[in-house]
Amino acid sequence: MSSADLRYPRPTILADYARAGIGVLLCGAPLLLLEVNQWLAAILVAGFALFALFLVRTALRHRTRYVLGPDTLCADGPAGTLVEWGRLDRMKLSYFSTKRDRSDGWMQLAIGSTGGRLVKVDSSLDGFHDIVERAARAAEGTGVTLSDATRANLRAMGIVVAGQEESV
């Protein structure tokens, strides 16, 4: 199996920059331009910090490329890290949606290997399905216990992991 170079598509990154920018502006502008009550200022500062954090995370994602190899997943960028499939010890696949009927959402995969930092990738990443499939196979091999939600999300993606049946 050869390595694949994966990145977040430009529209996704731009949309996230826009969200972060709007949030920073909406929370920061009143703090700078208006006389704000101390309690409301605390809420606005918290909001500002949240959007600023998201801006930093988006910038990191923008500068990061993911290299999916037969033995590793390498996040090559400013806060890069490496996941070794043979030593995978954490895997969580979550689904998020902001709609009431939980449609039009996105998946997030969080994986980590022994001694390494957690890598989180969203379903908007090119080749996300391949990463999840590889991680699922690795989880099968290393015997990582998967949560109910992760198993359900894997099934929804058409991926079945052996040895992860319901147990009581």
Partner 1 sequence: MLRFIVRRVLLMIPTLFVISALVYFIIDLPPGDCVSSQIEELVARGDADAHQRAEELRELYGLNLPLWQRYLEWVGGIFRWDFGLSCQDTVPVADLIGERLTLTIIMETSTIAFIWIVSFLIGTYAATHQYKLGDYVASFIGFIGLAIPNFLLALVLLYVGKVYFGLSIGGLMDPEYIDKPLSWGKALSVMQHLIIPVIVIGMSGTAGMIRRLRANLLDELQKQYVVTGRAKGLPPMKLLVKYPLRHSLNPFVADIGGLLPDVISGSVIVSVVLSLPTTGPMLLGALKTQDVNLAATFLLFVAALTVIGMLISDLALAALDPRIRFGATSEK
Smallest gap from residue 153 Cβ to partner 1 (A):
5
- At 91, the amino acid letter reads M
Q: How far is CA 112 from CA 15, 19, 75, 105, in A?
A: 27, 28, 12, 23
In angstroms, rounded to a whole number, what is the distance separating the alpha carbons of residues 149 and 94? 7
Closer to partner 1 by CB, 113 or 150: give it.
150
Which ranges in 34-80 belong to alpha helices (H)? Answer: 38-62
Coil, strand or helix at 67: strand
Establish if 17 lies at the interface with partner 1 (CB under 8 A).
no
| Structural element, H or E, at residue 89 | strand 88-96
Among 16, 48, 131, 139, binds partner 1 (CB under 8 A): 16
Interface residues for partner 1 in 106-165 (CB under 8 A)? Answer: 106-108, 122-124, 128-129, 148-149, 152-153, 156-157
Which residue from 3, 14, 37, 49 is in contact with partner 1, where contact means CB under 8 A? 37
Q: Is 77 a binder of partner 1 (CB under 8 A)?
A: no
Figure out which of the listed residues 1, 10, 11, 168 binds partner 1, where binding follows CB under 8 A.
Answer: 168
Q: Which of 4, 36, 60, 82 binds partner 1 (CB under 8 A)?
A: 36
Separation of alpha carbons 104 and 101, rounded Å: 9
40 is a contact residue toward partner 1 (CB under 8 A):
yes
In the bound state with partner 1, the residue whose beta carbon lies nearer, of 114 and 117, is 117
* CA angle at 109 for the pair 123 and 148, rounded to the nearest 5°: 115
For residue 55, which of 17, 28, 111, 85 has the smallest C-alpha distance? 17
Strand partners, 74: 67, 82
Give the interface with partner 1 as residue ranges (CB under 8 A): 16, 19-20, 22-23, 26, 30, 34-37, 39-40, 47, 50-51, 53-54, 57, 94-98, 101-108, 122-124, 128-129, 148-149, 152-153, 156-157, 166, 168
